[in-house]
Amino acid sequence: MNASAITGLRARRVWDSRGNPTVEVEVKTASGVSGRAIAPAGASRGTREALDLRDGGTGLQGMDVRRAVANVNDHIAPLLKDMDANDQAAVDAALIALDGTPLKSKLGGNAMVATSLAVLHAAAAAKAVPLWRHVADLTDETPTLPLPEIQIFGGGAHAGRRVDVQDFMVMVPGAASFDEVLEVTSEIYRAAGSLMKAKGHSVGVADEGGWWPVFDSNEQALETLVRAIEAAGETPGERVVISLDIAASEFGSKGRYRLALEERELDRDQIIDLLGRWIKDYPIASIEDPLAEDDIEGMTAFTREFGGKVQIIGDDYLVTNADLVAAAEKAGACNAVLIKVNQAGTVSESLACLAAAKAHNYRTIVSARSGETEDVSICHLAVGLNAGQLKVGSFTRSERMAKWNECLRIGDELGGAAFVAGKPLANTWWARQSEGYSK
């Protein structure tokens, strides 16, 4: 029997960083080694992404996953038995056919993504190579260590909607190494905490570990982030830039945007003007979901105006879907796509999205969800897919740090030259400006 043949597969219920139940799958191969993966969970979800199967009812606030676990053990395990874990495409095609629904609502996106990733791990283990190497083999990519986006303040659905904007992040494109990115970010994170304390605020953290956003306006958060970058000894816009996830679908639809914190409603043109002013006034090099997922007109107008200046990422807007990336390019909307494996539901569909992004010249950012675990698969995907960028939340809490630390380990295996540094921000104002200062 083939060493990578699947001999056993089982799911169990485990728990995520918000204390919610989730699905873990373990896959055994004929060679005796196994692979394991856990499904993450989003809070600000796109309407077109794969659905997690939750049990409903009153227990665990309806969030239990016993049906998804049973789907793996009763239906997926017999289907995949004796299949080759090395043939990810065939495994995922079998899962998709068994489910048969557009949003994976029958088996559950959570059941499917944990299975698909566990098979990927099992195949790497059977080949006795690191996961990133197996992923690079599958895609013929040259492995690279990504440029991180790291959250300093949380917001939106991750912080009780205390501010409207979901992520206030930093990127360190001017760093010479991944390690330097983390060191600079640690200084900024701590400086931001000191600024919050100095204002007399209590200093809790939001869902992804960023500081709890005790601000009177969205712009005050931006202002404080700039102060924190300065307090860490940096000149904003040089080695360090700002990245925002507006997650506008959370407060906008049908061309209207309700900023709850500031108690005002903006139309499409007004929110584009507001974000345009932020781009002018602050060193912002990347902006995600600036308009709502149903606002193609807004996204196109925004990209037309600012696409040559900043990276514009579609998350809820593109939901890791190859067809939506192709359609966005045709419409002239966004110039980058977030890759979340559980939005697509399987590894193969995520690879297809990545291939579409490369074909259409869209930048790619592999991303975690707000509900995470110790699972570090996405680090290996970001490296093996040569994605260029990685977003896993803030710089505290072990479900986040596990990912940054895993990248350091992979970096040691790859060697320093594998770090992409500021390359993903080529064709933005940062790249043009950085030519003028020496790193």
Mapping DSSP to helix (H, G, I), strand (E, B) and coil, where does residue 88 land?
A: helix
Question: Considering the rule CB under 6 A, would residue 367 count as an interface residue with ligand PGA?
Answer: yes
Q: Give catalytic status of residue 81 as yes or no.
A: no
Question: Considering the rule CB under 5 A, would residue 372 count as an interface residue with Zn ion?
Answer: no
Cα angle value 416/140/359 (rounded, 5°): 100
Least distance (Å) from Zn ion to the CB of residue 400? 15
Question: Considering the rule CB under 6 A, would residue 245 count as an interface residue with ligand PGA?
Answer: yes
| R_g over Cα of the chain | 21
Output 26 or 245, the one with its CB closest to Zn ion: 245
* Side chain identity at residue 99, one-letter code: D
Rounded Cα–Cα distance for residues 217 and 288 (Å): 19
Residues 208-247 touching Zn ion, rule: CB under 5 A, are: 245
Rounded Cα–Cα distance for residues 80 and 64 (Å): 25
Least distance (Å) from ligand PGA to the CB of residue 286? 12
Question: Considering the rule CB under 6 A, would residue 247 count as an interface residue with ligand PGA?
Answer: yes
Alpha carbon of 30 to those of 63, 82, 123: distances in Å? 35, 9, 11
Rounded Cα–Cα distance for residues 256 and 397 (Å): 35
Rounded Cα–Cα distance for residues 195 and 203 (Å): 10
Output 45 or 268, the one with its CB closest to ligand PGA: 45
Query: Of 115, 286, 370, 373, which one interacts with ligand PGA (CB under 6 A)?
Result: 370
Query: Of 52, 92, 207, 315, which one interacts with Zn ion (CB under 5 A)?
Result: 315
Rounded Cα–Cα distance for residues 305 and 427 (Å): 14
Residue 86: which of Zn ion, ligand PGA, none does it interact with, CB under 5 to 8 A by kind?
none
Residues 34-63 touching ligand PGA, rule: CB under 6 A, are: 42-45
Residue 42: which of ligand PGA, Zn ion, none does it interact with, CB under 5 to 8 A by kind?
ligand PGA
Tell me which residue of 132, 38, 90, 74 sits closest to 342, measured CA to CA: 38
Tell me which residue of 183, 180, 184 sits closest to 145, measured CA to CA: 180
Output 65 or 77, the one with its CB closest to ligand PGA: 65
List 28, 104, 340, 403, catalytic entry: 340
Least distance (Å) from ligand PGA to the CB of residue 352? 20
Least distance (Å) from ligand PGA to the CB of residue 258? 18
- The first and second tokens of residue 311, run together, are 């990276």
**By the 8 A CB rule, do 121 and 354 touch?**
no
List 24, 208, 234, 293, catalytic entry: 208
Rounded Cα–Cα distance for residues 373 and 16 (Å): 5
Neighbours of 397 (CB within 10 A): 16
Output 69 or 368, the one with its CB closest to ligand PGA: 368
Output 44 or 394, the one with its CB closest to ligand PGA: 44
Query: Which residues participate in catalysis according to the annotation?
Result: 208, 340
Residues that bind Zn ion (CB under 5 A): 245, 288, 315
List interacting residues with ligand PGA (CB under 6 A): 42-45, 157, 166, 245, 247, 315, 367, 369-370
